[in-house]
Amino acid sequence: MSEVYHIPAMLKETIEGLNIKSDGVYVDVTFGGGGHSRAILEKMEENLPIVADTKGGRLYSFDQDADALVNKIDDERWTFVHSNFRYLRNWMDYYGVEQIDGLLADLGVSFHHFDCPERGFSFRFSAPLDMRMNQTAKRTAADIVNSYSEEDLARLLYLYGELNNSRVIAKSICKARSQQAILRTEDLMAASRIPAERSKELARLFQALRIEVNDEMGALREMLVAARDLLKPGGRIAILTYHSLEDRLVKNFLRSGNLEGNIEKDFYGNILTPFTLIEKGREASEEEVARNPRARSAKLRVAEKK
């Protein structure tokens, strides 16, 4: 298991983007190592009035992976929600929260997942082909690889891995599995016939399967709509994306206010959207990338509810 659960990318910029108030209600839908959640609570503390009867504020942190509980925070203002963030609206209803002041989502996979061999997220290790964020879920990456039709495999590799040779890879996988089930990471690498030196291509193959196993795009869509409806006027949403597929969805949603990315205009040609854009795809500094190379692909987008 990785000694460092996760190092948040652009932590300072993300927290600043949320414009945190001491008495606000905030949601961190990707708790992971707890770095962002701790920073939110600290910023609440900083912004407290000099004389205050209460600590004020509230933070709800979501994570569907039980492993994240090792990073729990001892703070009366904090509530851990062991759930997929697609159920954001349900859980806010459960806790009686009608509106929130801010929401943070770091869509990157935790170091813990990539560096924990037995979880099967990385081609760097020999491991069962798993990739489940929620370890109680039934479907694994091995189930998908061994049961999807060649056409469906090619489609998901193209859509979620953006692999132009998806049909060739899918055909090779199906041929290999007809002789022996593909159950481990090394089995998939051999079946795909992608050489180890083409690491970017292998990363995209594993990315595509991970997204499918966890229905990441479906969950993201549901969360975005719930966040839009829950944010109060002046409330902010800050999202860190790591690949073009999710970034395109987030960018278009924050620009238009809808999942389709359709821009509506009033009679005078003014764009009708519930958001004002604050950050339009900020990237990590060279200094940060030098310290944390995995921050290289991060993009920060922040918007404020009108």
CATH number of 11-111+216-305: 3.40.50.150
d(CA 80, CA 68): 10
Dihedral sign for Cα 128, 130, 133, 138, please: negative
100 strand-pairing partners: 231
Per-residue model confidence (pLDDT) at position 109:
82
- CATH (one of 1.10.150.170, 3.40.50.10090, 2.102.10.10, 3.40.50.300) for 138-213: 1.10.150.170
265 strand-pairing partners: 271
Q: What is the pLDDT of residues 233-250, one digit of tens each?
A: 999 999 999 999 999 999
d(CA 126, CA 149): 25
Give the predicted TM-score (pTM) of the model.
Answer: 0.93
Per-residue model confidence (pLDDT) at position 271:
86
- Domain extents for the chain? 11-111+216-305, 138-213
Per-residue model confidence (pLDDT) at position 114:
67
pLDDT < 50 positions in the chain: 1-2
Per-residue model confidence (pLDDT) at position 1:
38
241 strand-pairing partners: 299
d(CA 272, CA 257): 9
In a 13 Å sphere around the CA of 87, the CA atoms on its Cβ side amount to: 12
Per-residue model confidence (pLDDT) at position 180:
97
Per-residue model confidence (pLDDT) at position 84:
97
